[in-house]
Amino acid sequence: MTGKRDIKVLTEILDLSDVKVRSHRLHTGIGMILQIEQEKSFSTCPKCGTTSHKLQKKGTGNREQGANNKHSFAPV
């Protein structure tokens, strides 16, 4: 598979909301590896619905900071 049409087909097969296949490679003995990207540039906290345009990393910082972090942002 090569070309824009193939990328579109792979994106449709993957069937993930707002995720697009950027490229792909076929590796012998492994299978196909896809490079994907999220089409939206923001995430929404599933707990409270707050929107963030910043990269959020879960589990960074010390335990106190993690315990006080009320948001758990996930791609929308």
Co-location of 35 and 65 in the same domain: no
Co-location of 2 and 28 in the same domain: yes
Co-location of 28 and 60 in the same domain: no
CA diameter of the chain? 49
Residue 54: which domain range? 41-76
Co-location of 1 and 14 in the same domain: yes
Strand order in the sheet with 74-75: 51-52, 43-44, 74-75
Q: Summarize the chain as % helix, strand, coil (round to 5).
A: 20, 30, 45
Co-location of 55 and 34 in the same domain: no
pLDDT tens-place values along the chain, 76 residues long = 458 888 999 999 998 888 999 999 999 999 999 999 988 888 888 888 888 887 656 655 544 444 445 555 555 5
| Count of structural domains, the chain | 2
Co-location of 45 and 31 in the same domain: no
Query: For the whole model, what pTM was predicted?
Result: 0.53
